[in-house]
Amino acid sequence: MVKADVSTSISGGVKVGADKKGIYSSPIAEFGGIKATFIAAATVKFGVFKRSFTYEDEAILVEPDEIKFNKYYLDL
């Protein structure tokens, strides 16, 4: 038996801050990557002997990433 579960996330918002140029806002977007968790299980029977094996692991298929946007300054 092999079982796999794949998950991802995307989030967004607005960052507000200040620097030497003034007060700004900037959209933000983050991609959480794609992560897979899988489980493999097998049972081997030889005469009266029975043995079960289980293997569980996690793999990152696509790395997380952040999308950079320009800062928009407030005119005061």
- pTM flag (> 0.85): no
pLDDT band for 75, please (50, 70, 90 cuts).
confident
Average pLDDT, the chain: 91
- Are the C-beta atoms of 16 and 25 separated by less than 8 Å? yes
Cα–Cα–Cα angle for 61, 63, 69, rounded to 5 degrees:
145
Residue 37 has pLDDT above 80, yes or no: yes
From CA 6, how far away is CA 32, in angstroms rounded? 12
**Per-residue confidence (pLDDT) for residue 64, from 0 to 100:** 92
